[in-house]
Amino acid sequence: MSPEGYWLLVFYVFMLAVAVGVELISKVPPLLHTPLMSGSNAISGITLVGAIGAAVFSGWDANGVLAFLAVTFGTINVVGGYGVTHRMLQMFKKQK
């Protein structure tokens, strides 16, 4: 694929993702805004995929240290974000 074609395609993907995001998020009630935030926050830890890639080409040089920090921070983001979201969602109960 030509570089122009690639970028065009990627911008389509980007635009559609934003549209889907707006559509999905608008439907979340204020009741669940905190879990929404912590849950979507955990999702942003997907940058972990990039961090693993960064680690592949690094030895224990400066890049390796940066990659190690990237994996660590990304994992804190993922595990912590899901942890608090799970704790909060368990609490929302209906009247018996």
Partner 1 sequence: MSLPTELCYFVAAILFMLSLKWLASPKTARRSVPISILAMGLAVVPTFIQRIGEPGGAGIGNTLAIVLGGLVLGSAIGFVSATKVKMTAMPQMVGLYNGFGGAASLLVAAVEFLYKTGHNPQGEIGHMSVGDSIPVHLSILIGGICFTGSMAAFAKLQELISGRPVQFKGQHYLNLVLLLAGIGLAIALTLNPLASWHLAAFLGLVAIALVLGWLVVIPIGGADMPVVISLMNSYSGMAVTATGFVLRNNVLIILGSLVGASGLILTRIMCKAMNRSLANVMFGGFGAAPIGPAAATGGTKGTVKEASVEEAAMVLQSSGSLIVVPGYGMAVAQAQHAVRELAAQLEKNGTRVRYAIHPVAGRMPGHMNVLLAEANVPYDQLYDLDQINDDFANTDVVLVVGANDVVNPAAKNTPGSPIYGMPVFNCEQAKSVIVLKRSMNPGFAGIENELFVHPKTMMVFGDARQTLTGMTAALKEAA
Looking at residues 22 to 81 of the shown chain, list those that interact with partner 1 (rule: CB under 8 A): 22, 24-64, 66-81
Question: Cβ distance 31 to 92 under 8 Å?
Answer: yes
Using rule CB under 8 A, residue 5 touches partner 1: no
> Is 77 in contact with 45 (CB distance < 8 Å)?
yes
Q: By CB under 8 A, is residue 8 in contact with partner 1? A: no
Contact flag: residue 2 with partner 1 (CB under 8 A): no
Radius of gyration of the chain (CA): 18
Size of the site for partner 1 (CB under 8 A): 83
Establish if 17 lies at the interface with partner 1 (CB under 8 A): yes
12 touching partner 1, by CB under 8 A: no
Please tell me the distance from the alpha carbon of residue 70 to that of residue 78, in angstroms, as a whole number: 12
